[in-house]
Amino acid sequence: MDKVLVTRAVFPEVLDRLSGYFEVEFNPDDQVWTRSQLVERLQGKAGAFITGSERVDAELLAACPDLRAVCTMAVGYNNIDVEACTARGVWVTNTPDVLTETTADFGFALMMAAARRLSEAERYLRRGEWRKWHYDQLMGADVHGATLGILGMGRIGQAIARRGALGFGMEVVYHNRTRLPLEAEGAVNARWVDKATLLRESDHLVLVVPYSATSHHMIGEAELALMKPTATLTNIARGGVVDDAALAKALRAGRIAAAGLDVYEGEPHPNPALLDLPNVVLSPHIASSSVSTRRAMADLAAGNLIAALGCGPRAGRPPTPVNPGPTGRP
């Protein structure tokens, strides 16, 4: 029986499911292991059920020669060197689709909270400062009828566009490396524009691009300078897509009105300059964190691991592969 490692705490029923196929070592204390601890625990393991906390690269693969599958409980996989895994014939899988709608819900909620100054209003009330009504009390920006800008028009971007266009009557503009088919644009009344136009026209800009070397600091000081001073920026993509120091500077100077952030550079330690700003809504990377969605993500990751290691009804055919797995394995 193959041995597998589950690197972080997960639903007990998922561990039970994996135990029907493998000898499972897991992490009941939910510690974030050091690199050396991870390598030690991966010795003799055929598969790893991981999260975004673990870095899998060529060095780790060389130190763990028995590893045949790396299955992440996430849609993003920038912590995995896919090319190195492919070169060694190691499956890489992720969990797309199952978190699309929940993440879009959260992104829209975060955008609205930033636009309407919701967390600022809550702090104002909790401090006991609400004593009377006045006409300009915590005035924010409307979402309905505004221009929604989306940078990255994949599954989640399109789900956000639907909410904006069909639910709130927003004009939707987007920028993507590849333009959507006309019928997909028409379904949400979306209009492709270049990046500079997107930044200039958006009342509410939502970032949904995957992280890579090319998207690092895609939004920095120069890009923020193109935005309207009344605009909001929402990041549910990945930390590093935004230059957080430049964003904090822009927010403090009123260069843009507000931001809603679920992801950060240096997670789980956000840039301290963001923490005391009144015009930013902060959440701890929880866009997919609904009960049903997190269960679906864990179940899909487990199904991928089972199939990748040649077990179950989909043996050898994981449902959501990122790479070709053992094809051409040396």
Which pairing describes strands 232-235 and 171-175: parallel, antiparallel, or unpaired? unpaired
Per-residue buried b or exposed e for 17-49, using 16+ beta carbons within 10 Å of the residue's own CB: bbeebbebebbeeeeebeeeebeebbeebbbbb
Peptide bond into 268 cis (omega under 30): yes
Per-residue buried b or exposed e for 241-257, using 16+ beta carbons within 10 Å of the residue's own CB: bbbbebbbebbeeebbb
DSSP per-residue string spanning 34-73: -HHHHHHHTTT-SEEEE-TT--B-HHHHHH-TT--EEEES
| Alpha-carbon distance values, 161 to 55, 202, 238, 308 (Å) | 32, 13, 19, 34
How far apart CA 197 and CA 309 sit, in angstroms, is 47
- Indicate which residues carry an active-site annotation: 238, 267, 285
